[in-house]
Amino acid sequence: MNSFTGAPNRQKSILGIGNALIDVLINITDDSVLQKFGLPKGSMTLVDAVLSAEIKKETKINTRIIQTGGSAANTVHGIAKLGGSCGYIGKISGDEFGNFYVEDFKKDKISTHFFYSETGTGHATGLISPDSERTFGTYLGAAMELTAEEMTPDIFVNYGILHIEGYLVQNHALIEAALKVAKENGLLVSIDMASFNIVEANIEFLHRIIREYVDIVFANEEEAASLTGKTPEESLPVLAEMCDIAIVKLGAQGSLIQKGDRVIRIEAIPAKSIDTTGAGDIYASGFLYALSENLDLEVAGKIGSLLAGSVVEVIGAKIPEETWNQLLPQIELLKRV
């Protein structure tokens, strides 16, 4: 496996690839709307433009916020807030949502590799249940038109890690092309499983690409169970046998990390959870940033846990600026341990 020790500066830079989406986050009073539209609670379900509009119409009186989203994009934004070097690959349109997306990346000084389509920019309707669980009905729009042919070596050469969101694995050709080019250019590869139903639908493909290409796997309890057929604790060594570093996220119970024979349990920080959107994404931000800085795996897990515990206390996948101002000194202390 690759190592960052003694590597040139470019090795510290992290490249995300994912579905470039706008998040429309809506608080729902009960789960009846999920049942009405056939959305399994806690999952990400692909919907067409018509159904997406129907969901929004059904919830038009509910409170909502609009943010840039997409799992890998959330992770990259978190890395940028930590002071890390990062970039992002995605496909958008030159519409209002697309322009909003571009400006948000500029604001955080993230290098972008955007491709454009005539199809409208994708958007994910996130329905937040009273217990803080989020369920997405996602209209991919332009995002689904990202192609294998667009994965050219020049995009990857200035990075040390490629981070892939699991939502992309439904496009097998695209994922495999990105993985091959990344490995040919000496990048480590990280993948976040993203959603249990996506894992179940692509189980054989995921097993193969993890063994062939992937160095780091992030999975929550349900995703780990879907991938291995085992409990979270039992799934950890199975995943660690498939790749170099395995991380199983346990929500309020923290997370488990394994590399070789070393197993680390990370405690969750106390948090009043009101929305779990982005918790796994921002955990990956902290972990990958720490890895790029050659910090110990336990420190990486603690930084990830600190960020995840902070984002669940707000609506959406973005930690507020005032909270970042409080977090960054704590992270500096963790880096010195």
What pLDDT, in 10s, does the model give residues 272-330? Answer: 888 887 899 999 999 999 999 999 999 999 999 999 999 988 887 889 999 999 999 99
Tell me the pLDDT band of 2, cut-offs 50, 70 and 90: very low
Beta bridge partners of 141: 121
Tell me the pLDDT band of 6, cut-offs 50, 70 and 90: very low
Residue 78 lies in a domain: yes
Measured distance CA(310)–CA(321) in Å, rounded = 12
Measured distance CA(332)–CA(335) in Å, rounded = 5
Which residue from 179, 56, 106 is spatially nearest to 47, judged by alpha carbons? 56
More confident residue, 1 or 277: 277
CATH value at residue 223: 3.40.1190.20
Domain total of the chain = 1
Instruction: Quickly list DSSP for 250-262.
Output: -GGG-EEEEETTE
Contacts made by residues 236-239, CB under 8 angstroms, sequence distance 24+? 236/263, 239/210
Query: What amino acid is encoded at 162 in this protein?
Result: L
Task: Tell whether the model's pLDDT for residue 103 goes beyond 70.
Answer: yes
Residue 49 lies in a domain: no
* Total residues belonging to the chain: 337
- pLDDT per residue as tens digits for the range 226-252: 999 999 889 999 999 999 999 999 988
More confident residue, 337 or 57: 57
Residue 42 lies in a domain: no
Average pLDDT over all residues of the chain: 92
In the chain, what is the straight-line distance between the N-terminal and C-terminal CA atoms, in Å? 25
Residue 31 lies in a domain: no
Which residue from 191, 210, 248, 187 is spatially nearest to 1, judged by alpha carbons? 187
* Averaged pLDDT, 198-221: 95
The answer to whether the beta carbons of residues 176 and 210 sit under 8 Å apart is no
- pLDDT per residue as tens digits for the range 123-157: 989 999 999 888 999 999 999 999 999 999 999 99
Residue 58 lies in a domain: no
Query: What amino acid is encoded at 56 in this protein?
Result: K
Does this model's pTM top 0.85? yes
Q: CA neighbours within 13 Å on the CB side: how many for 179?
A: 25
Residue 44 lies in a domain: no
* Averaged pLDDT, 165-182: 94
119 token code pair: 């199809």
At a CB cut-off of 8 Å and minimum separation 6, what does 138 contact?
Answer: 19, 21, 44, 45, 46, 47, 122, 123, 124, 125, 167
Residue 156 lies in a domain: yes
Residue 60 lies in a domain: no
Measured distance CA(299)–CA(305) in Å, rounded = 10
Q: Which domain holds residue 204?
A: 9-19+70-121+141-335
